[in-house]
């Protein structure tokens, strides 16, 4: 059993309160005294069906610091001073960790630039560097690889922006792909059939490049089931962003084909005919949209 030597201040408090020194309980070097819980004291008998007291847990007694019994204002001042010292210690530790991280980054030129890449692995590695002051060789190689890929994407985005500006197409910042319910207008890049999550059937997925530069992947709407690669389509769907220029769309509706690559200018169907003398002649077949008002 640990024996605590009372300080002169504690002995003065014991004499002032008129308590027995054996009743004191020390916790982290501070003297405490068992007192009746102020929240349960007015009740003559505890209610067995009532929830337990948040202060004493239903025991009707609680530990109170001795200095709080003597002078509550002095105890509050000591607690405020302790909090201030804790904040000062945290600032000191933060400055020390930052200096240690800067010293480590100075040994690897370009690593700080790669750590600023908007990637969850780079963010976690930066936190590891602050806490431990170093990174492993595998972490450094992975961060440099992510940085190279991010710079290649940025160069590709800049080139695509320049091309779209030259063509007069709208340009959107690739770092701000819209989320939520949006109208997508773009070209089908690729399609693929996959197994559905429910039932023994297959669904067709398609990759669409919007006119604003980003790409989305999702299920092909039934209304444009006849659309092929290269066709321009328009539909409304819910977009979920994955990274700066790629996302997924779901719940598409109001889908329509704006322009078919097979029937665009220079790609009309051709009808070949053979005359009696054996000569062949070609005549293009131009498909025009059906006039629904006349049929109605």
User: In 3-state terms, what secondary structure has residue 100?
Assistant: helix
Whether 74 contacts 67, CB under 8 Å? yes
Domain hosting 30: range is 8-70
So what's the pLDDT on residue 73? 62
Whether 238 contacts 180, CB under 8 Å? yes
The contacts of residue 277 (CB under 8 Å, 6+ apart) are: none
So what's the pLDDT on residue 269? 47
Q: Are 151 and 189 contained in the same domain?
A: no
So what's the pLDDT on residue 282? 46
d(CA 31, CA 63): 10
So what's the pLDDT on residue 287? 47
Residue 169's nearest CA partner among 160, 177, 178, 181 is: 160
So what's the pLDDT on residue 142? 93
User: In 3-state terms, what secondary structure has residue 294?
Assistant: helix
d(CA 65, CA 238): 58
Q: Are 103 and 155 contained in the same domain?
A: yes
d(CA 246, CA 264): 28
Positive or negative torsion for Cα 132, 136, 140, 143:
negative
What's the pTM? 0.41
Q: Are 40 and 133 contained in the same domain?
A: no
Q: Are 60 and 100 contained in the same domain?
A: no
The number of distinct structural domains making up the chain is 3
User: In 3-state terms, what secondary structure has residue 148?
Assistant: helix
Domain boundary among the residues 118, 145, 171 is at: 171
Q: Is 178 exposed, middle or buried (0-12, 13-18, 19+ CB in 10 A)?
A: middle
Q: What is the CA radius of gyration of the chain?
A: 37
Q: Are 110 and 140 contained in the same domain?
A: yes
Whether 82 maps to a domain, the answer reads: no
Q: Are 100 and 197 contained in the same domain?
A: no
Max intra-chain CA distance, the chain? 132
So what's the pLDDT on residue 72? 60
pLDDT by residue for the chain (296 residues), tens only, comes to: 455 666 676 777 677 777 777 777 777 777 777 776 766 655 555 565 556 666 566 666 767 766 666 666 655 666 677 778 888 888 888 888 888 899 999 999 999 999 988 788 888 998 889 888 889 999 999 999 999 998 988 888 788 778 877 877 666 555 457 788 889 988 899 998 888 777 677 888 999 988 777 889 999 998 888 888 888 899 999 999 887 778 899 999 999 988 887 765 444 444 444 455 555 554 544 444 455 554 44
Q: Are 264 and 247 contained in the same domain?
A: yes
């Amino acid at each position: 059993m640990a024996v605590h030597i009372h300080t002169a201040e504690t002995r003065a408090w014991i004499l002032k309160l008129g308590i027995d020194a054996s009743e004191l309980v020390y916790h982290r070097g501070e003297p405490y005294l068992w007192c009746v819980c102020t929240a349960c004291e007015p009740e003559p008998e505890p209610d067995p069906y009532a929830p337990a007291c948040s202060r004493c847990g239903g025991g009707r007694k609680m530990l109170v610091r001795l200095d709080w019994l003597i002078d509550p204002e002095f105890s509050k001042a000591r607690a405020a001073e302790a909090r201030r010292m804790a904040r000062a210690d945290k600032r000191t530790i933060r400055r020390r960790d930052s200096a240690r991280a800067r010293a480590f980054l100075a040994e690897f030129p370009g690593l700080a630039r790669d750590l600023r890449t908007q990637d969850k692995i780079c963010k976690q590695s930066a936190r590891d560097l602050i806490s431990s002051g170093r990174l492993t060789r595998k972490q450094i190689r992975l961060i440099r690889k992510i940085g190279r890929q991010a710079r290649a994407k940025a160069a590709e985005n800049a080139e695509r922006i320049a091309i779209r500006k030259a063509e007069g197409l709208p340009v959107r910042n690739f770092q701000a792909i819209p989320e939520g319910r949006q109208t997508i207008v773009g070209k089908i890049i690729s399609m693929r059939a996959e197994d559905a999550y429910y039932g023994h059937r297959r669904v067709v997925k398609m990759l669409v490049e919007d006119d604003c530069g980003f790409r989305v992947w999702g299920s092909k709407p039934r209304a444009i089931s006849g659309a092929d690669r290269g066709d321009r389509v328009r539909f409304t769907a819910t977009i979920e962003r994955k990274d700066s220029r790629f996302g997924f769309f779901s719940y598409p509706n109001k889908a329509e084909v704006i322009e078919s690559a097979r029937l665009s200018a220079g790609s009309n169907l051709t009808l070949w005919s053979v005359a009696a003398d054996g000569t062949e002649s070609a005549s293009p077949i131009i498909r025009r949209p059906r006039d629904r008002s006349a049929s109605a």
